Every structure is written in C-alpha cells, then in structure tokens.
Amino acid sequence: MRLLPRAEAAVRRGHPWIFAESIKSQNREGDAGELVVLYDRRDRFLAAGWYDPDSPIRVRVVCAGEPATIDRAWWLGRAREAAALREPVFSSGETTGARCVNGESDGFPGLVADRYADTLVVKLYSAVWLGRWAEIEGVLREVFEPEHLVLRFSRNLREAAGAAGLKEGFRGAEGEEMVVFRENGLRFEAEVLRGQKTGFFLDQRDNRSRVEALAAGRKVLNLFSFSGGFSAYAARGGARRIVDVDISAHALASARRNLALNPELGGVPHDGVKADVFEWLEQSRDVFDLVVCDPPSLAKRDRDRDGALSAYRRLNAAALARLAPGGRLVSASCSAHIPTDPFFTLVRGEAARSGRGFRELWTSGHAADHPATFPEASYLKAICLEVD
C-alpha cells in the first residue's frame, strides 16, 4: 500500500491513523485485522498496521520507521511498557483503579484496558482485534495478572463481535458486576459490565484531587455530577455543603452510594437534583463558592463543533453567574473535536463578559495513565478561574 504525500508525512511524524481517502494505491482489498505493509514513494518501508475495510480509519498503524515482527513477544513488550508507565499510579496502594492501556498512545490501536481492583475491563473499538483476541487476552493476563477479566465492545462493533463468536462479559472466572476500588484512598464503585465507558470515568482523577484542594469551607455545585467523583473529593477537602445536578436518577443514586462507601467523610450535607443542567442553571438563583462543570462530550463529530462551542459558552456563562464573590469555577471539556486553546479562550472570554474580575488558578490536560501521543487522542482539558 502507498499513501498520498500528506498522509505519508503524517505517518512519519507518528500519527497512527490512515484514512481511506489518504490511500494512493493498494494491490487488493483486505480483511478486517489483516496486516498491511506500507511503502513510501521510494519503495522503502514506511509502516505496518491492521486493515479495516469497514472503518473510515482504514489502517491502524502498529509499527513505523523500522520493520518489526508483530507477534506475541511484540505485544508482550508493548503491554509491559504500558504497565511500567502506570507503576507510580499503583505503587502506594492508595489507588487500585486506573487505565492500564490507552489505545494507540500505548501501541494498542482501538483497545483500552482499565483496572478496577482485581478486575481488568478491556473495551475494543476496532474490528482489527476480533480475530486475534485470544492472543491479546493471554498477553493482558500475563502482564496485568487480573483475577477477573471483562470484555466489552463499542456499540458499532457488537454485530461483528457476535459474528466472530465473541460475547461481552466475564472471560473465565465470573466476578462481581459492581466492583469497589480505591482512588487516592477514596472508595468508588465501577459498574464493569454495563456502566459507561468501562464502568467509571478514571480520566478525571488528577482534577478531582485539584478540586479537593479548593473545597475547604465552600458550598460546592457539581454539574453533570454523574457518579459523584468530584463530590467525594470535595467532601474530603472540607466542603460545607454539596449539590449534585444530573439528568440521570441512576447516576445520582450511584453518587449517593459512593459517598456512603466513605463514612470517614462525615456528614457533609449533600443534595442530588435530577434535572437538565442547562434548564436548572437558568432557573436557579442559588449561589456557590465552587462550581465544577464537567459535561459529557458536546461534539461527537467535527460538524458538531460550532454547536458545541455555543453550548459551552452558554454553560460557562450560567455557571459563572452562580458563583459568589471569591468563588471558583472548574470547567472541563472531554470533546476531542474542541481543541484545548479555543476551549480555554472561551471560558476566559465568558469570565471577562461577566464584568467581574478574575484570576486563572490553573489549567490541566491528561493524567499520566491517559497518555495522548497524537492530536485526536488529546481530548481532556480543564481550567480553574477565581472571580471577584
């Protein structure tokens, strides 16, 4: 296979995706998961990857620059590198839940693996893994040594997985559907079979710690609170009252259970409000000393970007209006199609338009267990402002 010049240059820079429209020529059609060798314009080895005829990402690169033997030993090496990167996260024993494999950024394109205590949840996002699942399962078991392993698929992959004879759920020994794990000493539950993503939003661990450091003596509003991760950290940080707002009764119930899992947090008054966050913000006149705004992705595709930016403006303007003097806003975005700098500029702009003075306390990106080695993988960003 050969690529158009721009795509060839992107692969040389380390980009792991080759889109169908970037292919200049190929000698035949391939099957899902078939190994493709790519050559540059001078017929030199460029890269090798897995072919997927049914995806816009036609090839997912697994090695580039120098040829390699892509076998079990290769995958063991990649998995051990990923495990070594996470060693500082797990070393203290205070955290037993974190990401172990982060897709392309760890050399496993279209695959993520999250550990929750003794359970490893593997989620596949590409059909290229279906035909080699037995080999990869063995690799993951050898390196991460889970007592239980759960296999899950993205929605668009379920039909193909069934055709390949694979089912979602525990592989081998059955474990608990609700797994309790620790994060920085706090206990949380992960719904490993049916919960969103792999059962919990592990990517906000560092930002939750930052919120804990801001919370002492403050009345806290947690918007899009989901399972209450930010709320538990705020309670440990000394918040005097916490209000969760989420449209899902299931999520609010999970938040209550997570707080109950940590009796050492004491009796911090905690209210769960089932409501659409945008509507609730428009109707509420209550004020808070700390507002955390962490919505789900508002831009699923590039064409959603303008609408998402408009929604982020509306959301942050309303959140700022709920802040008491000296209040702090922590605003996050997990939309990969909203770049970091425009998002930060948007939040700063809404603070300026509010007519209140403000100071920027910090910005953040990905935690160490969620490395992002190419632009499309860099989705998470957060900013903290203090307003007069």
Please tell me whether residue 331 adopts helix, strand or coil conformation: strand
Which residues contact residue 263 at a Cβ distance below 8 angstroms, ignoring those fewer than 6 apart? none
Distance of alpha carbon 238 from alpha carbon 216, whole angstroms = 4
**Do strands 178-183 and 358-364 pair parallel, antiparallel, or not at all (unpaired)?**
unpaired
Catalytic residue among 63, 100, 293, 334: 334
Q: What is the DSSP letter of 238?
A: T
Please tell me whether residue 156 adopts helix, strand or coil conformation: helix
334 catalytic per annotation: yes
**Do strands 35-39 and 270-274 pair parallel, antiparallel, or not at all (unpaired)?**
unpaired
Inter-residue contact 214 to 286 (CB < 8 Å):
no
Distance of alpha carbon 321 from alpha carbon 283, whole angstroms = 12
Q: Where are the alpha helices (DSSP H) in the chain?
A: 5-12, 72-90, 133-144, 158-163, 205-214, 229-236, 249-260, 277-283, 305-321, 340-353
Q: Give the torsion sign (CA, 141, 109, 157, 123).
A: positive
Sole residue written with tokens 């789900």: 296
Sole residue written with tokens 């990969």: 336
Cα 329–chain centre separation: 21
Number of H helices, E strands in the chain: 10, 20
Sole residue written with tokens 């403006």: 313
Tokens standing for 356? Answer: 């209140």
Q: Count Cβ neighbours within 10 Å for each residue of 298-321 and write b for 16 or more, e otherwise.
A: bbeeeebbeebbebbeebbbbbbb
Active site residues: 334
